[in-house]
Chains A and B, each alone.
Chain A
């Protein structure tokens, strides 16, 4: 009896693994590397590489965006590129080690979970240049540049849109209640920046607005994202902003089912989440691709800013709002003007956006 049971379990497990694999392989073609076949034009070819977080490619977020930056560098700068995906946290070190040994530089370590690994590995390879996406190095390391973003500035603009939209009735999904919602991934300082900016932006144009914030506790659980979305809508929120990775995909479903508008994050989610156009008001784009590309460019130009922690805000084009797409004709000019003014004020320094609650 026991044998039978364990066999059934074995088959189930095998199926689970296969199922886990299928969507993953459907999404990507990661290590195809046409650039490697082209003859190098310069004497020394720059070889740029990245190590993904455990989320891997196909996350529609910072791993994919970093890869976009690499691909652009391959096309425009003719550098050779490589991407290694991490399946486990213990892969970070071995992946970085392999790339550094093979002469790749710069090497991008994507995601704040890799901060410690970079701190440990960078001194072992002093001639290799490292870029840490979402990583802040204190004290700074000579051959490492930290690539950080002022998520609060882009989120402020998202807040302006949401704060004004909830007072309007330009779409049937907007209700008369002056309530908007925020869904966060993990309750960490990085995500708090999104929340703080969003609330500040909303209150700047609509001081009485009620902003309800809920946290999922992770960046992967879509069912949880849907649950939180439904709960927010239940509490009369009609515009929801999610800074929660894949969790937000569940929140989009909640908005579609129960009728609310959604503001996406990281990428222009109108483009990356098919079929979401009916609720996707706009997205707060975090241009990790630009930061990665610019860093590679600096290595090519010989101006690599090692030992610095760079911060990409609105002024640097590191964060911004995506187009309104399907809502472009519906969104009143007054909202568009308010966003334009807020953008100017932030860039000119007239408004400083808080980075914590």
Chain B
């Protein structure tokens, strides 16, 4: 009798833990919307119209959903990159630089091997971008493992080097003829096609929801990456060591896990994921490399990872939220006359409430205690 009761309490508790994990970010997002509405209203705009426009611009039509997917794709990958590092107790703030190197490697390879068929070229380019991102994270990783140089400083510095390297290359050696500093266009076989381009006109006519506008196959790459990262963390020795070191490096060391080698592996895998974000942007969106092809995806990825609580699958909805905010912002300023910078406030509020989540958790726990004491 007693045992049975204990078991049911345990089951109940695991449900509550799950509900908390998912519920807290949701509540944070909802609170952000409420406070955001107030700010919009206080600035003299109509919050209802603003959020309707935000919704229509992000999920209101297949085309809008395509825009949300387009913007979420790099954020899933950079979010994964940051989350993977966090799980080993490392803060890879330099995902942006690794992303630039990834984009550079993919572009260079795509232009050099222009004759290859797509089923060889695309995997090669994706692989190259991961290797380049990992290589860019390798030096900070070694510095961290060998002499303890803090990865926040080193990865950030490498971001500057990476950005300016790309800047130099697109102005100089890799520049295509013409006024604009950018590389030549990738061959068709090196481009990730738009999702709607996979279907015939007839299919599109009967299945309207497939008309995803600019949404491209990079989203598939990103989702596969998320599932793989989840699998690695959950079911492999590599992932176990990663989590163990993140949880307690000293205990891990004592238990025979090499903290140094785990640190290097973690940062390189993190860098590889960020590099992949660079190649999907180049291959799916711009089809060429230029100086400003990323608008800080590496940094927004930090916020995505925080919102996802560093869970690889959680990164997907978190990135979709940020992608939706970005996609809907244009519609919002057009339809509701609300400056798109308001969206920045809402993003900041989401992060803020995630940070303030302890308060939310505390409220939930109090409720539960009350419920339990009532039940008792």
- What residues of chain A have their CB less than 8 Å away from a CB belonging to chain B? 2, 5-7, 9-11, 13-14, 17-18, 20-21, 24-25, 28, 30-33, 54, 82, 84-85, 87-91, 93-95, 98-99, 102, 112-113, 115-116, 136, 138, 186-190, 217-218
Contact flag A98-B341 (CB < 8 Å), given A10-B352, A54-B292, A89-B292: no
Across the interface, A14 reaches (CB within 8 A) one of B70, B331, B333, B348, namely B348
CB distance from A1 to the nearest CB of B (A): 8
Minimum C-beta distance from B126 to chain A (A): 20
By the criterion CB–CB under 8 Å, are A95 and B348 in contact? no
**Count of inter-chain pairs, beta carbons less than 8 A:** 124
**Is there a chain A Cβ closer than 8 Å to B144's Cβ?**
no
Kindly specify which of B3-11, B104-112, B268-276, B322-330 makes contact with the partner chain. B322-330
Q: Indicate if B351 sits at the interface (CB-CB under 8 A).
A: yes
User: By the criterion CB–CB under 8 Å, are A186 and B181 in contact?
Assistant: yes
| Interchain CA distance A30-B342 in the complex, whole Å | 13
Which residue of chain A is the closest to B307 with respect to CB atoms?
A10
- CB of B167 closer than 8 Å to a CB of A: yes
| CB-defined contacts of A2 to chain B, threshold 8 Å | 86, 89, 246-247
Q: Are A10 and B354 in contact (CB under 8 A)?
A: yes
A6-B306 contact given A89-B293, A94-B67, A98-B334, CB 8 Å threshold? yes
Q: Which residues of A contact B352 (CB under 8 A)?
A: 10-11, 14
Given contacts A95-B330, A99-B334, contact A13 B306 (CB under 8 A): yes
Most chain B CB neighbours (cut-off 10 Å) among A24, A84, A90: A90
**B327 & A21 in contact (Cβ 8 Å cutoff):** no
What's the Cα separation between A186 and B170 when bound, in Å?
11
CA distance A241 to B273 in the complex (A): 43
CA distance A187 to B337 in the complex (A): 37
> Taking the complex as formed, is B303 at the interface, i.e. its CB lies under 8 A from any CB of chain A?
yes
* Contact, CB under 8 Å: A88 / B291: no
In the complex the two chains form, what is the Cα distance from A186 to B326 in whole Å?
28
Query: Inside 8 A of B348's CB, which chain A residues have their CB?
Result: 13-14, 17-18, 21
B339 touches A88 (CB 8 A): no
Beta-carbon contact of B345 and A188 below 8 Å: no
| Cβ < 8 Å to A, chain B residues 132-177 | 164, 167, 171
Contact check, B334 vs A217: say whether CB atoms are below 8 A apart: no
Cα–Cα, bound, A113→B181 (Å): 9
- CB neighbours of B338 from chain A (8 A): 31
Q: Nearest chain B CB to A326's CB is how many angstroms away? A: 34
Q: How many residues of B contact A (CB 8 A)?
A: 50
| Complex contact A85–B306 (CB within 8 A) | no
Q: A10-B306, A14-B351 are in contact. List 9 more A-B contacts (CB 8 A).
A: A6-B306, A11-B355, A24-B341, A25-B341, A33-B337, A90-B295, A94-B214, A102-B334, A186-B171
CB contact between B337 and one of A32, A88, A91, A217 (< 8 Å): that residue: A32
Beyond A6-B86, A11-B352, A54-B292, is A20–B340 a contact (Cβ under 8 Å)? Answer: no
Select which of A82, A136, A217 is within 8 A of B164 by beta carbon: A217
* Cβ–Cβ contact A54 & B295, under 8 A: yes
When distances are taken between beta carbons in the complex, the residues of chain A under 8 Å from B171 are 186-188
- Whether the Cβ atoms of B330 and A98 lie closer than 8 Å is yes
The minimal Cβ–Cβ distance linking B168 to chain A, given in whole angstroms, is 8
Q: Among A20, A89, A187, find the residue whose CB has the most chain B CB atoms closer than 10 A.
A: A89
Distance in Å: Cβ of A217 to nearest Cβ of chain B: 6
Q: By the criterion CB–CB under 8 Å, are A10 and B355 in contact?
A: yes
**Pair B334/A82 contact, Cβ less than 8 Å:** yes
Q: Tell me if B91 and A88 are in contact (CB < 8 A).
A: no
**Among residues 297 to 346 in chain B, which have CB atoms less than 8 Å away from a CB atom of chain A?**
302-303, 306, 310, 326-327, 329-331, 333-334, 337-341, 343-345
Whether the pair A112, B180 counts as a contact (CB closer than 8 A) is: yes
Taking the complex as formed, is B234 at the interface, i.e. its CB lies under 8 A from any CB of chain A? no
Residue pairs across A and B with Cβ atoms less than 8 A apart, 24 shown, are A2-B247, A6-B306, A6-B310, A9-B91, A13-B303, A13-B348, A14-B348, A20-B344, A24-B341, A25-B341, A30-B333, A54-B292, A84-B333, A85-B340, A85-B341, A87-B340, A89-B286, A89-B292, A90-B295, A91-B329, A91-B330, A98-B334, A136-B179, A188-B180
